[in-house]
Structure 1
């Protein structure tokens, strides 16, 4: 005989609510998975699986509580527990498959398959666990419908959740996903119940191995588990994980995220002081002693900085060797005094792993308000001031000024525009002659680069060359200069003006390991004899990698190209390497020329000239502007000169006229130049 059951619709509504809340709790917990570390991922994965599996199980048995067959009903203990395990394990597998940040549709479908299968398995195992005086059979069409509902709804819920899981935890998308997942659970359950057919037979007996209150106790305990796991996960997130997210792991100082949160919470605050601290020479310590020693040094610096922390003074570690102080209610005088104290503390000796280390710092200061739409303006200003302190010699602080900001904006504009300067033919070359006083004749030319900016006008090489060095465009620019200078020199040669031209090189070109091949290719392209090209290097260049630079210079000279050392005596002293460095000429910096009235400078120049003679090197003096310079340098033994006294740098088309004029006047000035 067929037996019809009835439902308590209040409990049905409760079962639907339990399914949706369990789904939402699961999605909320597992939204942490993709952005967590490896260990945290599995914590959230396990938590979400327990909540989801328990939620499915609880919904099923609350639904069974709402169903009345008007007879006593019990449940097999082991099958009931097995149904809980089935729903939890399937939830774990589904969430594990969909855990990565970037997954394809196949994996989403596979996750939906496991989630839906878990719901189906849990339901029909739970039904099998029923002990009652009825025989149970199923309508196959409705059973298939329940399975389809579970699979499709599970897939849809996972798809929505994965697509929008980076939304905030209270977003409507998560609620929509939770509702769809609740539909998957409840729709499958009540369709499955509709598929169930109950028949009675008088000869059926009862099993004795049952526990009468298992349904009530099991559901109650499971709901408690859901609440405990959800609350435990939220506590862990708000306390443990928040600490991990906003605290630097090495120094235990607040990190960049905490700094950003401070700015966000204090928008509109007035008189905020920002001190941007960067350690000097830190890279050298990392490179020579290793990153382990570097980390220990950073930790020790953090310990010292922590002494300056007060209620209104906050310190953050925002990078490898970068720290930041934010000072509330701060005037410039207070910020400067704090910077002075920090500089003094940081430069004290460090004893780390048997090493006695000395390090300094550069500090940039900005004082102002945290604007509503530009909360990072103060930070940018402090950063600009810090780099200014670096350029001024390090181990000091600088306060941001509007003038500094204007220079920074100009530098950024140059960085942006220098990329197109070559393409738009804004660069051009000028040539400054070198004169041999002893022989009263032209010695050669130096090619000098100029930039005519369409908006900013003529830009000094001292301004744009460092920008080109930093951005790396100096390589392509120097290649263009070499090609243009060689072509111009060849053009002069066809007119009977046969003098060498010199070009300045950047250290960046030596880092390419193909400089000699470069030069050879350019000479062949211009069809210029190698002895008519001279390459100028600075003495500090050699110290980057002495052996490599010397090797490449030997290769260049083997082509027949001459090499000179520019600005000699102003960089790192390379006197001890002069007998090893393959050069032909020393160029005295204008620093010596302008102080010729000092006996000490004259003595140094005389010593350099004598040393150069013994090494077989030519000496050229730069910055010659007066007749007195010419006479003094000649007395000291320097006979090749370059400067405004002879000519300002001129364009290539002006050289012909200059040579013609000075050849005519050469006879009138046999002992000096023009």
Structure 2
């Protein structure tokens, strides 16, 4: 990928395009000078502004307009040499492709991220014992859920970066109020290539948090676990070597649940929400009872997700579930005071509240 540029020339004979380029650059606090058919943009702060400009233009201009603009990064100052550079310069579409910039990447690069937290309660007395962190983002002024964010990130090739942002945002946002409760953090094993390297910043955030290692519960959904079981086990072994615990989510939704439980041996098993909400159907009850019994035999704690009524809470407790999660006990909420940090183009927003 090309390095960060501090200056860029954009040229086109299409009259309406360059004013759009100039306005976009000025909105990013870049130095802009214009002449007929040419915009000269300088980043006085060293290059990141040019990257942001490209990300914005990927969204502002149509595919045809991107093809019609020629772009020369860090051009020579000599007039003749500069003209020669422009004559052989690639289109903006080609430059964006070289940099891996797509509309989706541009959206993610400018989004704000934070974690919302949903309580997990002990079914026997309804006391809160844990919280699951759920990533949220503000994209073009609207709130977007984690599922949509990760779908876009995967298609744009930024899954590993967003997954890391989600893990670290979960930790930072819980620091001032989580106390001795457990913190459940989602992760996708395909975003982790080598655990010792890819999880280094997450380890640092966890260590700096002051929370006890056993309070961290990293959870993976069953469908992701099935994709490469050997790789998953390697990642989970690394988690456990740090004193963290492991949860298997959406258990019961796939045909391989029981064998997967035996292979992964998670400390926490989260029952699939669809099956829980299928109660009191006899088929759902049979599957959930079998999963719950095996989980307990393996020494795992069982969490029933998707509990929205007292009847469901009673049903899953009868089947042996230890903990419950769902709208009956509380919806995901964003604690009140945002604390922002900049992280390589992402704005990850940690959040805090008093207990």
Change (3 A) 1:474 1:528: farther
> Is 2:126 the partner of 1:432?
no
Task: Give the whole-Å Cα distance in 1 for the aligned partners of 2:115 and 2:123.
Answer: 25
Secondary structure of the 2:181 match is coil
The equivalent of 1:538 in structure 2 is 221
The equivalent of 1:607 in structure 2 is 290
Residues 45-444 of structure 1: matches in 2 within 5 Å? 413-421=103-111, 426-444=112-130
Task: Give the whole-Å Cα distance in 1 for the aligned partners of 2:290 and 2:265.
Answer: 20
Secondary structure of the 1:451 match is strand
Asked if the contact 2:153–2:159 (Cα under 8 Å) also holds between the matched residues in 1, the reply is yes
Task: Give the whole-Å Cα distance in 1 for the aligned partners of 2:205 and 2:333.
Answer: 23
The equivalent of 2:176 in structure 1 is 491
Asked if the contact 2:249–2:272 (Cα under 8 Å) also holds between the matched residues in 1, the reply is yes
Task: Give the whole-Å Cα distance in 1 for the aligned partners of 2:209 and 2:162.
Answer: 17
Deviation at 1:512, TM superposition (A): 3.8
> Is 2:163 the partner of 1:478?
yes
Asked if the contact 1:414–1:464 (Cα under 8 Å) also holds between the matched residues in 2, the reply is no
TM-score, with length taken from structure 1 = 0.34
Structure with greater helix share of residues:
1
Secondary structure of the 1:625 match is coil
Gaps of 5+ in 2: 1-63, 65-101, 338-351
Asked if the contact 1:429–1:481 (Cα under 8 Å) also holds between the matched residues in 2, the reply is yes
Ranked by relative contact order (alpha carbons within 8 Å, sequence separation 6 or more), the top structure is 2
Task: Give the whole-Å Cα distance in 1 for the aligned partners of 2:159 and 2:125.
Answer: 37
Task: Give the whole-Å Cα distance in 1 for the aligned partners of 2:103 and 2:331.
Answer: 29
The equivalent of 2:270 in structure 1 is 587
Task: Give the whole-Å Cα distance in 1 for the aligned partners of 2:329 and 2:255.
Answer: 30
User: Deviations 1:333-375 (Å, cap 9, x if unpaired)?
Assistant: xxxxxxxxxxxxxxxxxxxxxxxxxxxxxxxxxxxxxxxxx9x
**CA RMSD after TM alignment:** 2.4
> Is 2:335 the partner of 1:652?
yes
The structure 1 residue matched to 2:281, chosen from 598, 612, 615, is 598
Structure with greater strand share of residues:
2
The equivalent of 1:623 in structure 2 is 306
The structure 1 residue matched to 2:188, chosen from 498, 506, 526, is 506
User: Deviations 1:494-532 (Å, cap 9, x if unpaired)?
Assistant: xxx321111110133232443454432222233332112
Deviation at 1:470, TM superposition (A): 2.2
Task: Give the whole-Å Cα distance in 2 for the aligned partners of 1:472 and 1:508.
Answer: 12
Task: Give the whole-Å Cα distance in 2 for the aligned partners of 1:466 and 1:617.
Answer: 30
Asked if the contact 1:587–1:620 (Cα under 8 Å) also holds between the matched residues in 2, the reply is yes
Task: Give the whole-Å Cα distance in 1 for the aligned partners of 2:228 and 2:117.
Answer: 31
Asked if the contact 1:445–1:499 (Cα under 8 Å) also holds between the matched residues in 2, the reply is yes
Secondary structure of the 1:427 match is strand
User: Deviations 1:221-278 (Å, cap 9, x if unpaired)?
Assistant: xxxxxxxxxxxxxxxxxxxxxxxxxxxxxxxxxxxxxxxxxxxxxxxxxxxxxxxxxx
Deviation at 1:583, TM superposition (A): 1.5
Task: Give the whole-Å Cα distance in 1 for the aligned partners of 2:310 and 2:320.
Answer: 16
Asked if the contact 2:172–2:205 (Cα under 8 Å) also holds between the matched residues in 1, the reply is no
The equivalent of 2:252 in structure 1 is 569
User: Deviations 1:399-445 (Å, cap 9, x if unpaired)?
Assistant: xxxxxxxxxxxxx7544311222xxxx21211000000114311200
The equivalent of 1:446 in structure 2 is 132
Change (3 A) 1:518 1:505: same
Task: Give the whole-Å Cα distance in 2 for the aligned partners of 1:465 and 1:473.
Answer: 9
Task: Give the whole-Å Cα distance in 2 for the aligned partners of 1:594 and 1:579.
Answer: 25
Change (3 A) 1:572 1:599: closer
Asked if the contact 1:510–1:549 (Cα under 8 Å) also holds between the matched residues in 2, the reply is no
The equivalent of 2:151 in structure 1 is 466
The structure 2 residue matched to 1:529, chosen from 212, 220, 230, is 212
